[in-house]
């Protein structure tokens, strides 16, 4: 092993790497970053400035604080990661004879899929009123369904649109 390398730490983070990917994608979809959040290096790579890093860290924190179903209950991702690290430590120290490799199932809930966007854009004001969606809600939905960014569709409204 080379000095300065931490292979166990890298192995421990690997099952949770997707959470960082999700945070980056969420940040991009929400349009959090601007040109000013990046700097181009002398070899033409882009690096985050402190302003961009702060925005990314806030999004990572948001993802880590989301709840996930695990072991008969809801836990935040940050607590699951901590628990897995403790389980590994107890196994290595001989305090436990086996390790639980089960992990929470990652659930990606996309609020605004293509079908839902098409339904929103094809809905007339009269049809929206009949299913219980108000004028201002329909305006908000149409406005956001027209662009490429992700947007929030509340569960009650989504049920009305899908049914």
Tell me, what's the pLDDT at 15?
86
Tell me, what's the pLDDT at 157?
85
What share of the chain has pLDDT > 70, as a percent? 91
Tell me, what's the pLDDT at 132?
92
Tokens 């406005």, residue?
A: 143
Residue-wise pLDDT for 113-141, tens only, equals 778 888 898 999 999 999 999 998 899 88
Residue-wise pLDDT for 70-88, tens only, equals 877 788 999 999 998 999 8
Tell me, what's the pLDDT at 3?
62
Confidence of residue 108 (pLDDT cuts 50, 70, 90): low
Residue-wise pLDDT for 19-75, tens only, equals 999 999 888 877 889 999 999 999 999 999 999 999 999 999 999 998 888 877 788
Q: Which of 79, 78, 67 is nearest to 105 (CA)?
A: 67
**Selected residue with higher pLDDT from 109 and 29:** 29
């Amino acid at each position: 092993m080379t000095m300065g390398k931490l292979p166990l730490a890298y192995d421990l983070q690997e099952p949770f790497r997707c959470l960082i990917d999700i945070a980056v994608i969420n940040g991009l979809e929400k349009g959090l970053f601007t040109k000013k959040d990046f700097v181009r290096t002398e070899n033409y790579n882009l690096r985050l400035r402190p302003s961009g890093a702060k925005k990314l860290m806030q999004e990572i924190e948001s993802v880590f604080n989301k709840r996930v179903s695990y072991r008969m209950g809801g836990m935040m991702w940050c607590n699951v990661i901590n628990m897995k690290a403790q389980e590994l430590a107890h196994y290595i120290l001989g305090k436990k004879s086996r390790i639980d490799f089960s992990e929470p199932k990652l659930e990606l809930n996309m609020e605004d899929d293509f079908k839902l966007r098409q339904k929103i854009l094809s809905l007339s004001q009269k049809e929206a009123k009949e299913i219980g969606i108000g004028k201002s809600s329909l305006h908000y939905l149409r406005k956001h369904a027209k662009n490429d960014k992700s947007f929030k569709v509340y569960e009650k409204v989504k049920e009305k649109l899908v049914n």
